[in-house]
Amino acid sequence: MEQKQTINFGAGPAKLPPSVLLQAQRELINYSGTGISVLEMSHRSSDFNKILNQTETLLRELLKIPVNYKVLFLQGGGSGQFSAVPLNLIGLTPDRCADYLVTGTWSAKAAKEAEKYGKINVVHPKLDSYTKIPDPSSWALNPSASYVYYCCNETVHGVEFNFTPETNGVVLVSDMSSNFLSRPVDVSKFGLIFAGAQKNVGCAGVTVVIVREDLIGHALKECPIVLDYKMQAEMNSLYNTPPCFSIYIMGLVLDWIKNNGGSTAMEKLNKQKSSLIYDIIDASNGFYVCPVDRICRSRMNVPFRIGKKEGDDALEKEFLDGASKRGMISLKGHRSVGGIRASLYNAVTLDDAGALAAYMEEFHKEHQ
Ligand code: PLP
């Protein structure tokens, strides 16, 4: 097969391991001797059940998920969970209050959606820019909240928690869409974790929800049935047709993660890759500027500006054009913030990050 020359630094859907794509290609027409494609397979068939169960088993193994947690494979994306979380959990306490940390676009959207279903308390003063995590000593947590919600990695702004928030026993909920399985996580500290697959663990279409069993069964009566964790848990994610092919691809990616050393190895690699880029930014005397506080810089999404703090549009365009000529694509920052963003999910290799680092150095030299 012709080797792909393109390096995809996209924020999601994102690069998949080439070996996964090749396996999916080989199995596309005739999956495991069944004579049909996974795309054509009944979700009630024993072959698909095997795929679903293998995917769950791998996930449980990789994250050491305790037995008192259910794993659900749902549709609706991360955004679907912005609604599903309050619909299922805000009724845990009678006054329907939940605490939110708002550290970027995605947690802001989640908090806004949750306001439809209860009283949402943002526990810290509003941030004037999404470049930091307010010090936990300044959080005003409500001890009788139904849950505390945060986004572990803000994909647009490149802000990542490198610690697990302490909630004094209140249920902790985390959106890990953009750093899922990029490092080890102690699942037992969480009531619920969710993640869309299309960044670190597969393709678009499936969202994983890992939820502690005692939190299931408290949905508001208006909760749509497809978002009701109780129904989906009882039906093993098969209440309705699940995203079969996306679950299959996730299984292949999880297998790849396992064969490449699991979450600990991913963490090591992700630290190395992101350090390559941050080191160049820090050594550039302000030519490259990352606005995020060092302590919460994301290892998944590295946002930066070129030329000056607020970015020089012409230089940034030239940088992106040059990158594209070298086969490096999807480096443009999110439309709401501009600039450059390099996403370095699990499938991005050290060589890929090295190629970007080399180009950044070269570009800086040319413009000194
Ligand atoms: N949460 C985070 C951290 C994200 O990065 C995204 C999308 O990029 C979402 C939620 C929304 O996911 P979806 O587009 O699958 O609804």
Q: Is residue 8 part of a domain?
A: no
Question: What value, to the nearest 5°, has the Cα angle with vertex 26 and ends 22 and 27?
Answer: 115
Q: What is the DSSP string of 1-19?
A: -PPP--EE--SSS----HH
- At position 358, the amino acid (one-letter code) is A
ipTM above threshold 0.85 = yes
- Pairwise CA distance, residues 324 & 254, whole Å: 30
Is the domain of 324 the same as that of 187? Answer: no
Structure confidence by residue, pLDDT tens digits, 101-120: 999 999 999 999 999 999 99
Q: Which residue among 106, 180, 227, 298 has the greatest number of ligand 1 atoms within 8 angstroms of its CB, and so is best to mutate?
A: 106
CB-ligand 1 contact for 196 (6 Å cutoff): yes
Give 202 Cα–ligand 1 centroid separation in angstroms: 14
What is the count of structural domains for the chain? 2
Identify the three-state secondary structure at position 236: coil
Q: Which residue among 102, 109, 149, 178 has the greatest number of ligand 1 atoms within 8 angstroms of its CB, and so is best to mutate?
A: 178
Sign of the alpha-carbon torsion through 98, 103, 109, 112? positive
In ligand 1, the atom with minimum distance to the C-alpha of 196 is 15
Is the domain of 48 the same as that of 133? Answer: yes
How many residues does the structure list for the chain?
368
CB-ligand 1 contact for 177 (6 Å cutoff): yes
- List beta partners, residue 305: 289
In ligand 1, the atom with minimum distance to the C-alpha of 104 is 3
Q: Among 237, 260, 283, where does a domain finish?
A: 260
Q: Is residue 4 part of a domain?
A: no
Structure confidence by residue, pLDDT tens digits, 231-250: 999 999 999 999 999 999 99
- Token reading at 215: 């939190």
CB-ligand 1 contact for 311 (6 Å cutoff): no
Answer for the pair 227, 83: CB distance below 8 angstroms, yes or no.
yes
CATH number at residue 68: 3.40.640.10
Is the domain of 159 the same as that of 308? Answer: no
Beta strands 148-151; 69-74: pairing state = unpaired
Distances (CA, A) of 194 to 72, 75, 146, 159, 271: 9, 12, 17, 18, 23
CB-ligand 1 contact for 91 (6 Å cutoff): no
Structure confidence by residue, pLDDT tens digits, 4-59: 589 999 999 999 999 999 999 999 999 999 999 999 999 999 999 999 999 999 99
Q: How confident is the model at residue 200 (pLDDT cuts 50, 70, 90)?
A: very high
CB-ligand 1 contact for 78 (6 Å cutoff): yes
- Pairwise CA distance, residues 133 & 159, whole Å: 8
Mean pLDDT for the chain overall: 97
Please give the residue range of the domain that contains residue 267: 261-366
Of 264, 304, 270, 272, the residue nearest 288 (C-alpha) = 304
Answer for the pair 129, 139: CB distance below 8 angstroms, yes or no.
no
Which residues have a catalytic role annotated? 106, 175, 199
